[in-house]
Amino acid sequence: MSCSPNDNSINVPTNPGNPFPGLGIPFSPLQIPLPDIDLPTDLIEDFLDLLKQLGALFPSGLFKPNPDFGMSGILDFIANLLSQLAPFLSFYNFIMAALNLIICIIEVLCAIPNPFAVASKLKRLFSECLPPFLNLFPWLALIAMILALLLLILALIIYIIETIIAIIKEIIKNLIALVNVQTLNDVTAALAIVQKIASLLCLIENILAILLAIAAIMAVIQALMAFSGTSICADEDGEGCCPLEICPPFIKENFEIAVTNGEFVYHRRVGLNVTDIPGIPAELAEALSASIAPKREERWQLFDTDPDPELPIKLIITDSLPALSALSFFGPQIFYPEQSFDVDTPPTRSPYTVDMRMFIDPGVFHPTDTGGARFMRINDCIVVRKPYVGEITFNALTVFGITIPTFNDTTGTFNLEGGQVFEDDGETPFEVEGTVGSLTVMTQASLNDFIFAEPTTVTPSVDDGYRITDVEFVWKPNHPALAGHYLITVGCFPEVNLEKAALNAFITAEGTDAILDRLDDAPDGVLVPSIGILPNVIGAQQCVQTALDTLRTNITVETAAQFQATMETCLNDLKDQTTAVFCDAFISAVSQFKSTFSIDTDVQFTTRPIIIAVILRDAGGTNIATNIPEECLDGILDKLHVLATFGEAARFTYDRENIRFLSELTSNVSGGGELTIIFDGNIFSTFNESTDFDVPSSITEDMLTYTFVDAAAEPAKRRDVIDVAQDGS
């Protein structure tokens, strides 16, 4: 049944009479109209109905309070529900990082086998999904946990010392009382005192059990501290996705390779052309021409005349496998497929393409052109065959269908076809006559159409090649096509390689060494020795326990005082070790990418300072400057500096209340400058994640600009009526 206020009967007592004689009660008794009081109808009057409505539906399910006999009100139920939600909420960021990583991996798998799609998804994986996920790894996330635990230990040590000292004082007081009781021969009181002393000693032992629980946590953390990180798909990883024999630098680091001293050579075709013989049907003539090998193929060759270029063409055909490697048994690892291409191959499917700029008179091949000699551009020419070293001359020897090139002190030669011819502006197409069916139309020329001479059936006795020097050209590895021929991995794409490089630079700057290797050992104490980089909690507990056991063998006022001194030494050793580890771990935990700084204003008078505020964060973005021990401050402040190009910055101070560090930047003269913050030699920077496939992620140094301006001189105050000068004199 619902609770109703009308069920109560309250008798309000009257005020006492006025103590002054002759005066009555000045006020009548207060009358409260209790009957017929109505509660608001929108309030839940049934307690059980209220409990049924308490719940929170989260992705993992419905959270409901768990009633127990200790709950005395509705707030207890709400607190119980919040205690269930707190762990879920605290780990939600970690859960989301893992879920996003899974989604990115699925997207990469769905993009297979299209190399270009895979590369785009890999870039997103490196730029968006991996950085938050890396924060879960021990070498980045664990130090913040260690700092929190060390602060807890420091607080517990102070609590334990104060509590045990209070207990010891109580023991000493009872020992004195025991002496007095013995003089009275009061056995009952003596037994009570002895029982109380024993209980107090047990209480001390129970308090020390807190250290055992902390030591168990420390053991787990110490195991995690041994884990170290590594870069992702690093070039130096021979077992990774991008070793040098699969991803050579000339491919993974270049979208295009420019050459300024090229030479171009054209030779026309020499051989029987059956299609020119009258009386033979066109289809049969084409079939016969295809089956009869010419004496000399029509050929467009291009090579670099520089004898020692930084990236020679021959890198394409240079075996990247070590001489005695296991994979070399299956043949050399070169970067051109075992097939040829032709003029009809789309540039997107060619392993390599070339853009040329040459000085040529098109009228030599196209008499209708009257523009004279000029620069022309031929873009997206197809590299139709595997490059070779040397030049195939006009009368080169052919053995078993393979034409032997003549060495000419060059470093690689391309065979080209196709492409599109433009005027030097790169926009105006150069057109030639072509046929579409029975129609003659003007179409944009390719290299095959632009530089072309009619075939001949007679092998020339002298070099009849057309040669152009000082050709500027750019050759471009087509990474998706190379990956499609299984010559490289998608990790060799420059877009992906740059993304990997940026992420690995970020990882390296944050630190991949195991925490065990990054921190110094804790110092030895007077009674508690060091056992490594973590404080010796077990040693401190055993130290106090040994002193307690000694006290129990002979409990007197003097031994109790001796126990107090030993206990304080043991726990102060632990405190000193904990403080030293905290100082060292704090410096190691600061992230140059997640730490931030700000200024209160970017324009200030020369009579006032600009306030610089710095927040030191760990790799997970947590502000780690909470409750820094005083013993650590000098070492931390010595690592924190302002690098300002104008004015002078004071030494930082610790703002404990607002969990930040402050410095004042001042200048006596007007002017402007830029400032950055340095901690332990590392400049605060930002990892700029890019979602654009053509724009790689980058790391930039954080910088703020500021300006000081002169303040007008403030007039002196007038002292009195006779101060007519108003200059204070």
CATH of residue 612 = 2.60.40.10
Q: Which residues lie across from 655 on neighbouring strands?
A: 660
Answer yes or no: is 503 within a domain.
no
Asked whether the predicted pLDDT for residue 673 surpasses 60, the reply is yes
d(CA 580, CA 99): 38
Task: Provide the pLDDT for residue 644.
Answer: 95
Which residues constitute the domain of residue 595?
A: 588-709
The pLDDT assigned to 453 comes to 92
The larger pLDDT score, comparing residue 651 to residue 217, is at: 651
Are residue 300 and residue 192 in the same domain, yes or no? no
Number of domains in the chain: 3
Structure confidence by residue, pLDDT tens digits, 685-718 = 998 887 777 788 888 999 999 999 987 655 556 5
Q: Are residues 433 and 452 in the same domain?
A: yes
Phi, psi values for residue 245, rounded to 5°: -70, -15
The amino acid at residue 535 is: P
Q: Which amino acid is at 463?
A: D
> Rounded distance, CA 468 to CA 471, Å?
7
Choose the final residue of a domain: 559, 586, 613. Answer: 586
Shared domain for 476 and 554, answered yes or no, is no
Given the DSSP bridges, would you call strands 352-360 and 466-477 parallel, antiparallel or unpaired?
Answer: antiparallel
| Nearest alpha carbon to residue 327 among 243, 245, 240 | 245
Query: Is residue 207 assigned to a domain?
Result: yes
CA end-to-end span of the chain: 88
In a domain, 6, yes or no: no
Find the mean pLDDT for residues 226-248: 73
pLDDT of residue 14: 42
Of residues 680 and 191, the one with the higher pLDDT is 680
The highest-confidence range among 52-61, 166-175, 228-237, 507-516, by mean pLDDT, is: 166-175
In a domain, 28, yes or no: no
**Is 596 found in the same domain as 579?**
no
Q: How confident is the model at residue 380 (pLDDT cuts 50, 70, 90)?
A: very high
**Cα(512)–Cα(140) distance, integer angstroms:** 8
Q: Are residues 569 and 604 in the same domain?
A: no
Residue 315 shares a structural domain with residue 459:
yes
Q: pLDDT grade, residue 59 (50/70/90)?
A: low
What is the reported pLDDT for 665? Answer: 96
596: exposed, middle or buried (C-beta count within 10 Å: 0-12, 13-18, 19+)? Answer: middle
Q: What is the pLDDT of residue 512?
A: 73
Our measurement of the distance from residue 123's CA atom to the centroid of its chain's CA atoms, rounded to an integer in Å, reads 13
- Which range (74-88, 311-325, 425-439) has the least confidence? 74-88
State whether residue 85 is helix, strand or coil. Answer: helix
Confidence of residue 659 (pLDDT cuts 50, 70, 90): very high
For the segment 194-206, what is each residue's pLDDT rounded down to a tens digit? 888 888 888 888 8
277 alpha carbon, distance to own chain's centre: 71
Residues 421, 447: contact at Cβ < 8 Å?
yes
Three-state SS at 545: helix
Residue 153 domain flag? yes
- pLDDT given for residue 328 in this prediction: 45
Name the residue with higher pLDDT: 11 or 224. 224
568: in domain: yes
Structure tokens at 588: 């190691």
d(CA 199, CA 166): 14
State phi, psi for 195 to the nearest 5 degrees.
-65, -40
Residue 392 domain-assigned (yes or no): yes
CA distance readout (Å), 307 to 248, 261, 311, 357: 21, 10, 11, 21
Lowest mean per-residue pLDDT among 235-244, 293-302, 424-433, 455-464: 235-244
Residue 287 amino acid letter: A
Residue 623 has pLDDT above 70, yes or no: yes
Mean pLDDT on 280-300:
76
Shared-domain flag, residues 232 and 255: no
Least confident of 36-40, 73-77, 137-141, 406-410: 36-40
- Burial track 340-376 (b if 16+ CB lie within 10 A, e otherwise): ebeeebebeebbbbbbbbbebebeebbeeeeeeeeeb
Domain shared by 542 and 647, yes or no: no
Secondary structure of residue 225 in the 3-state scheme: coil
What is the C-alpha to C-alpha distance for residues 547 and 208, in angstroms, rounded to an integer? 12
**If you ran DSSP here, which 8-state letter would residue 684 be given?**
-
Residue with tokens 């599109």: 420
Q: Are 280 and 176 found together in one domain?
A: no
Q: Specify the pLDDT at position 65.
A: 64
User: Structure tokens of 77?
Assistant: 């139920």
Total count of residues recorded for the chain:
729
- Please answer whether residues 654 and 628 qualify as being in contact, where contact means their C-beta atoms are separated by less than 8 angstroms: yes
**How far is residue 535's CA from residue 496's CA, in Å, rounded to a whole number?**
44
Tell me the mean pLDDT in the region 356-378. Answer: 94
545-581 pLDDT, tens digit per residue, is: 999 889 888 888 899 899 999 999 999 999 999 999 9
Where is the domain boundary, 586, 619, 653? 586
Please give the pLDDT value at position 720.
63
Domain boundary among 454, 488, 522: 488
Least confident of 40-44, 89-93, 673-677: 40-44
Retrieve residue 138's tokens.
């021990």
Residue 313 and residue 175 share a domain: no
Indicate whether 304 and 400 sit together in one domain. Answer: yes
User: Does 571 share its domain with 450?
Assistant: no
CA distance 122 to 104: 8
pLDDT at 435: 72
In a domain, 283, yes or no: yes
576 C-beta neighbours (distance < 10 Å), count: 19
